[in-house]
Amino acid sequence: MKIISIDLDRCVGCRSCEQACSMYGTGGFRRESSNIRVNIYPGERFISTLTCVQCETAVCLEICPSGALARSPETNAVVLDESRCVGCKMCLMSCPFGNIHFNTEKHVIQKCNLCDGEPRCVGFCMPRALNYLEVEEIPELRRAILDSKLRRCLVVRP
Amino acid sequence: MKIAVIGNSAAALSAIEAFRKHDRTSDIVVVSREKHPAYSRVLLPYFLQGRIGRDQLFFPAGRFAGGAKVRTFLGRSVEEVDLFRKRLFLDSGEKIPFDKLLIASGSSPVKLRIPGWDDRHIHHLWTIDDAVRIGRLLKGKKELLLIGGGAISLMVAWIAVQKKMKVTVVERLPRLMPQVLDAKGAEIVEAAIRKAGVRVLTRTTIERIERRPEGRFRVHPACGRSFRADVIIVAVGVRPNVGFIDGGRVSVDQGILVDDRMQTSFPDVYAAGDVAQGPTAYGARPRVDALWSTAVEHGAVAGANIAGKETHYPGCLGGNVCEFFGLTIGSVGALEESSSAVGAERSDSHGRSYAKLFSRGGIPVGGLILGSAEDAAWLGALRSCILSKKSPPDPGAPRIAGPARAARRLGPNSAFANFLAPPRMAKPGAEFKGTP
């Protein structure tokens, strides 16, 4: 089971992931049609990039009254069946991370489906902040990141 | 073990799904008053609108049941429950023995008593049969009267306006959607509705309805001029279906009282969904929360507990979202401004987007949004804040309220005010002004 891991320390806010996601999904470059969103807060010097984490107990999937959301057996992603979605927005309201978006043209929701196992956002991430990893590998990556940070802090500068 | 389930909608299905995660062998019997297989009530307005067909109302086979071996008695109602001998008596004469019982019988629309009233000519939008009938009725009709100013009523109004009908909405209280919106929100909604050509009569009750020979109606409000109507639809709330329950054995207030495991006052009897009166997450007294989202949550807790896996329910949050006249309206939690709860609001200059957060002692208890579809995402973040009883942690735009990490970095600055900023105040991408 793989998910997209985001290393916010590496993210430079280039928004390539948004463009790639939008291009793959709709063939255009509109930020609103992207499922990954980069929020940049210049005042706080902070960038937050968020995409669906494909929760194990997915509230969106449980609450969907039209049966439009289902767990994909191949990628374990929560995927949308657009023909069943009526745009009632219950999932939008229940997602604690705000990772479900609304497609105002088709009047259905849109969410990350991991591009059927080959996420485009990861492929186009220049600083390698996004990684498509097995869930078990992620703690290892986190430890490596923390290690390198500690090393930097502990170096005694002359 | 034998499990009997009364009801076949959100709470029942969610309970069966949760139960089957822990127990794959016990027998489950489902008794439902409706003769149709499980379908989704939430979708009825969309069906009426013509967006989806009738077969799309039903759940795809296997989605909820998950291969659950369930025996169904559809189109039968429960006459009596023998709690001591553990048996259900159906109107068709069957006796169903059970070890554990889940009551998820739902609710029914409240009926009005008005002189000149004939139940055959007054419609509610509650079941699939109602939706089909109303859909047929609206064809070729000109004037529609909607009694009640709630979400269902206004969604129907929107559909009727799209069908070029002349619509009148009558509400007894001073404002529309009293359970979902505050006064200012209701004002925005009312303005949008009036702009679409709908007549809105608040503080109005219907005194008399006169039936005309040509099959039309003449409606006399308590004050003001009478008007004509071809079709009358009533949506003034729902009432739990508790008629078949012995109130002496199982505690019943407005609904069946349940604890945080969805257990009633009688052992081995559980209740969930619209029929249950359960705990709230925002510190109010137990209430009937007749919403799809609450029913799903109730069911999941009840199902797990029936299977012997102890699960506790943090309380209902009353999450609701709907869309009409180009506005998305959503709310969670408690929406009363009282001496103990304060409301802080934000709106954009065009009066198109509006958000309000209610909190008690710095802890959020509820909120509402009114605006574009994407704004509803804010409520998701707010839900987790209400559940964890923490002040909103994230000083960013509500849409990104997630990473506690951001809060740690920035320290406890004016998080509250920032958290409130409704998501679409700025144009997408506008928050990026040059390189930091």
Number of domains forming the structure of chain B? 3
Does a structural domain hold residue B93?
yes
Predicted confidence at residue A34, as pLDDT, reads 92
Which tops the pLDDT comparison, B351 or B66? B351
Asked if pLDDT for residue B432 goes beyond 80, the answer is no
Give me the pLDDT at residue B99, please: 95
Contact between B402 and A62 using a beta-carbon 8 Å cutoff: no
How close B131 comes to chain A (CA, Å)? 16
Task: Give residue A119's pLDDT.
Answer: 94
pLDDT at residue B436 greater than cutoff 80: no
pLDDT of residue B416: 35
pLDDT of the residue at A102: 92
Mark whether B73 and B170 lie in a shared domain: no
On whether residue B300 sits in a domain, the answer given is: yes
The pLDDT score that the predictor gives to residue B291 is 92
| Full-model pTM | 0.86
User: What tens digit of pLDDT does each residue of A32-47 get?
Assistant: 889 999 988 877 788 8
DSSP reduced 3-state for B93 = coil
B147 shares its domain with B204: yes
Distance from A142 to chain B by nearest Cα, in Å? 14
Which of B210, B234, B258 terminates a domain? The answer is: B234
For the cut 90, the answer to whether the pLDDT of residue B336 exceeds it is no
How confident is residue B67, by pLDDT bands cut at 50, 70 and 90?
low
- Statement to judge: residues B142 and B191 lie in one domain: yes
Strand B256-257 with B276-278, pairing = parallel
What is the CATH number for B406?
3.30.390.30
By CA distance, what is A70's nearest residue in B?
B63
Task: Compare CB distances from B377 to A44, A45, A98 and report the shortest one's residue.
Answer: A98
In a domain, B313, yes or no: no
Residues of B in contact with A39 (CB under 8 A): 396-397, 399-400, 431
Residue A55's pLDDT is what?
92
Amino acid identity for residue B75 in this structure:
G
Residue B114's pLDDT is: 82
pLDDT of residue B194: 92
pLDDT(B313) > 90: yes
pLDDT per 10-residue tile (average), chain A, 158 residues: 89 92 90 88 82 91 90 92 92 90 91 92 93 90 86 73
Instruction: Tell me the ipTM for this assembly.
Output: 0.84
**Residue B10 counted as domain residue:** yes
Quote the pLDDT of residue B366: 86
* Distance between B96 CA and the closest CA of chain A, angstroms: 29
Q: Is A12 left (phi over 0), alpha (psi -120 to 50) or beta?
A: alpha
Residue B146's nearest CA partner among B177, B107, B115 is B177
Predicted pLDDT of residue B406? 38
Give residue-wise pLDDT tens across range B80-92. 899 999 999 999 9
Q: Is residue B435 domain-resident?
A: no
Q: Which residues contact B118 (CB under 8 A, 6 or more apart)?
A: B211
Which strand ranges, in their side-by-side order, compose the sheet holding B256-257?
Answer: B256-257, B276-278, B287-288
- Between B219 and B359, the higher pLDDT residue: B219
Model confidence at B165, pLDDT cuts 50, 70, 90, reads very high
CA dist A69 → A52, A109, B60, B187, B263 (Å): 13, 10, 11, 35, 30
Regarding whether B140 and B226 lie in a shared domain, the answer is yes
CATH code of residue B59: 3.50.50.60
Which H helix or E strand runs over B109? strand B107-109
Return the number of CB contacts < 8 Å for A and B. 139
Band (B418; pLDDT cuts 50, 70, 90) = very low
Identify the domain boundary among B213, B234, B255.
Answer: B234
Q: Mean of the pLDDT values across residues B112-133?
A: 86
Q: How far apart are CA A60 and CA A58, in angstroms?
A: 5
Question: In the prediction, which pLDDT does B62 show?
Answer: 57
Residue B171, pLDDT > 90, answer: yes
More confident residue, A76 or B357: A76
**Mean pLDDT, range B14-27, rounded to an integer:** 90
Q: Report yes or no: B124 and B130 within 8 Å, Cβ to Cβ.
A: yes
Residue B426's pLDDT is 37
In a domain, B113, yes or no: no
B100 in any annotated domain: yes
**Domain architecture of chain A: domains with CATH:** 1-51+113-158 (3.30.70.20), 53-111 (3.30.70.20)
Mean pLDDT in residue range B168-178: 91
Radius of gyration of chain A (CA): 17
Does the beta carbon of B299 lie under 8 angstroms from any beta carbon of chain A? no
Q: With beta carbons less than 8 A apart as the criterion, state whether B51 and A86 touch.
A: yes
Within this chain, do residues B205 and B230 fall inside the same structural domain, yes or no?
yes
Q: What percentage of residues in chain B have a pLDDT greater than 90?
A: 45
The mean per-residue pLDDT over the stretch B221-245 comes to 90
Which chain A residues have a beta carbon less than 8 Å from that of B373? 87, 89, 92, 102, 104
Q: Flag whether pLDDT at B37 surpasses 70.
A: yes
Q: Give the per-residue pLDDT at A123.
A: 93
Q: Is B316 part of a structural domain of the chain? A: no
Question: For residue B147, what pLDDT band results from cuts at 50, 70 and 90?
Answer: very high
Same domain? For B147 and B196 the reply is: yes
Is residue B71 domain-shared with residue B126, that is, in the same domain?
Answer: no
The pLDDT value given to residue B63: 54
Average pLDDT over chain B, rounded to an integer: 83
Range(s) of the domain holding residue B250:
2-108+239-306
**Pair (B15, B64) in one structural domain:** yes
Q: What are phi and psi of B175, to 5 degrees?
A: -140, 165
A49 within 8 A of A37, measured Cβ to Cβ: yes
**Which tops the pLDDT comparison, A46 or B401?**
A46
Q: Which of B14, B49, B59, B63 to mutate to test the interface with A (most CBs of A within 10 A)?
A: B63
**Same domain, yes or no: B176 and B130:** yes
* B413 shares a domain with B270: no
Let me know whether B104 and B243 are in one domain: yes
Closest listed residue to residue B68, CA positions, set B11, B29, B10: B29
**Residue B208 sits in the same domain as residue B260:** no
